[in-house]
Structures are given as C-alpha cells and as structure tokens.
Amino acid sequence: MNLAEAGPQSNVRLENESGGTVTLSLHLSKNLHGQCGFLTYYLAKKEKLVVSIPKGDYFAFALIAYSDGSSSNASGYINNRVGDNHLFVVKIKSEVIVVP
C-alpha cells in the first residue's frame, strides 16, 4: 500500500486488552483512492498506540502470545469512514477486535 496515495487518514488508538502481546494486521480493501494492502503493528500487553490509517474498510487480525507460552487470535472489522474526522478506539480483546 502506498500511504502517500491512499487519501485522507484518521487517527486510531489501538488498545491491547487481550492479556498478551499482539501482532496486529490490518487489511485495507481497495479504497476510494485505489489503494489496498496491509498495515502491521506490534503492541505489548496493555499497550495503547495511536496510529494514522487511510480511510476505508479493514479486516483486522491479531495474533496473541501469552506469557505462559500459549497463543490465540482475534479478528474483527474496522470501517474508517470518510466523514469521520475524530480519533476512534479499536480494542483488541482475547477473542474479538471491536470498535466501541
């Protein structure tokens, strides 16, 4: 994905509430500017991270690693709408990713 050509962006606060460390992959479906692709972020346990992402529809998938050596995953959808120009929150929980 070419972020410089992906059009307007919104700030998003990613909040890791999963109980483990997270590798988060956001897959952008082709947006109004013809851009698509993946963005990847790494979050420590309980970390909150503000990022700027292009407007569009995303499938979010998180790989979660726990301190006891076990792992799990969570997924969900994020719609970064063209009309939204405010910071919004994405919560990564142990089994689901939600935008409250």
pLDDT digits (tens, 9 = 90+) for 36-82: 999 999 999 999 999 999 999 999 999 999 999 999 999 999 999 88
Question: How does pLDDT run across 70-87, given as a tens digit for each residue?
Answer: 999 999 999 998 887 788
pTM for the model stands at: 0.92
CATH 2.60.40.4150 describes domain 3-98: yes
Q: Which residues contact 36 (CB under 8 A, 6 or more apart)?
A: 1, 27, 28, 29, 30
A 10 A CB-CB count for 49 gives: 16
